[in-house]
Amino acid sequence: MKRLSFSKMHGLGNDFMVVDATKQPFNLTADEIGRLGNRKTGVGFDQLLVVEPARRDDVDFNYRIFNTDGSEVQHCGNGARCFAKFVRDKQLSDKRELLVQVKKGLITITYCDDDHIEVAMGQPILIPADVPFDYPSPHYQRRYQLVINDQMYRVSVISMGNPHVVLFVENLWSLDIEPLGKAIQQSHYFPESVNVNFVEPISEKQIELRTYERGVGETDACGTGACASAFVHYRNAHLSEGGEVRTAMAMEGANIAVKVRGGQLLIRIDDRDNIFMSGSARWVFDGQLTI
């Protein structure tokens, strides 16, 4: 039997079980994570976050993320804000800025005020093989043509540390996104599956978003999905198909508000395509369990 202390948190309704592995061992199996993630018989969460001691001298913490199917993923933006709030509220660090190691790389998290946390999400990965995205052409394109269930879809594909498809739609909130989301995830194009973002543009500085996440399904908010979708929207609005600048804003970057079911995220893109995501994080409860 394993005894585990944890916290339940959420970022805009994207909910997490957070475990402090700096003070207790973490050795849950994929099956055990799945049982804990069950909303009827377990704690219930979209993802499990683990705070671990740093593995390098120049890093503050190690940050691990697990889906409810037990798979470990590279990144979660909403989770990063909850991770940061957990670290501060549990007095694990009093730094204003944290450098955190994730599965593939490093992220910087900044405490802006008591209710506002900004995560430096890095630059998007655009080369298909690095997403990974199995497409006939190895070169980045603004849009790709995917054949899904004998229908053609024009989509954008990028990675924010985890792979994303961005698909622009109308009447977003009345759509049943699960059938197409699942079909894209299970297609031969994405050997590691993919998060599928359905986006409705409102203006140059605002979009609305629903994300069908791999290993999870639709969630109330997806931070990396918001970053991927805002970046694609920004490029569509301010750069030509060939990548040439066509507006002054493209030289300065942009701030884009992303409305999701759980609320709103602010995505900032600088003139070098670095992406920053900001929003709130909320505590729900602390608990202990035996598994």
Catalytic residues: 76, 222
59-63, 152-156, 243-247: least confidently modelled range: 243-247
pLDDT at residue 6, as a whole number? 98
pLDDT at 102 over 60: yes
- How many Cβ atoms are within 10 Å of 104's Cβ, its own excluded? 13
Residues 6+ apart with CB under 8 A from 196: 164, 165, 167, 177, 180, 181, 184, 185, 211, 212
pLDDT at residue 48, as a whole number? 98
Q: Rounded CA gap, 211 and 229, in Å?
A: 10
Residue predicted with more confidence, 250 or 114: 114
pLDDT band at residue 241 under the 50/70/90 scheme: low
pLDDT band at residue 1 under the 50/70/90 scheme: confident
Q: Rounded CA gap, 170 and 12, in Å?
A: 23
pLDDT band at residue 250 under the 50/70/90 scheme: low
The string of DSSP letters for 237-290 reads HHB-TTS-B-SGGGGT-EEEEEEETTEEEEEEE-TT--EEEEE--EEEEEEEEE
pLDDT at 141 over 60: yes
Cis peptide upstream of residue 191 (ω within 30 degrees of 0): no
Helix, strand, coil abundance in the chain, percent, nearest 5: 20, 45, 40
Greatest mean pLDDT among 5-19, 102-116, 245-259:
5-19
Rounded mean pLDDT, 19-25: 97
65-74, 206-215, 242-251: least confidently modelled range: 242-251
Which of 63, 28, 54 is closest to 43 using CA atoms? 28
The CA-based angle 280-281-287, given to 5 degrees, is 170
Residues 6+ apart with CB under 8 A from 121: 75, 77, 107, 160, 161, 223, 224, 227, 275, 276, 277
DSSP E strands in 169-252: the ranges are: 195-203, 206-213, 217-219
Residues 6+ apart with CB under 8 A from 114: none
Give 23-78 pLDDT, tens digit per residue: 999 999 999 999 999 999 999 999 999 999 999 999 999 999 999 999 998 888 89
pLDDT at residue 252, as a whole number? 64
Residue predicted with more confidence, 247 or 263: 263
pLDDT at residue 244, as a whole number? 52
Rounded mean pLDDT, 158-166: 96
Which of 9, 277, 52, 18 is closest to 160 using CA atoms? 277
pLDDT at 237 over 90: no
pLDDT at residue 145, as a whole number? 98
Both tokens of 265, joined, read 């995220």
pLDDT at residue 113, as a whole number? 76
Rounded mean pLDDT, 274-285: 96
pLDDT band at residue 12 under the 50/70/90 scheme: very high
Domains along the sequence of the chain with CATH: 3-121+280-290 (3.10.310.10), 128-273 (3.10.310.10)
pLDDT band at residue 116 under the 50/70/90 scheme: confident
pLDDT at residue 114, as a whole number? 66
pLDDT at residue 98, as a whole number? 98
DSSP E strands in 1-135: the ranges are: 3-11, 14-20, 47-53, 61-67, 72-73, 97-102, 105-113, 116-122
- Confirm if 223 and 211 have CB atoms less than 8 A apart: no
pLDDT band at residue 2 under the 50/70/90 scheme: confident
DSSP E strands in 68-125: the ranges are: 72-73, 97-102, 105-113, 116-122
pTM for this predicted structure: 0.87
Both tokens of 195, joined, read 């998060």
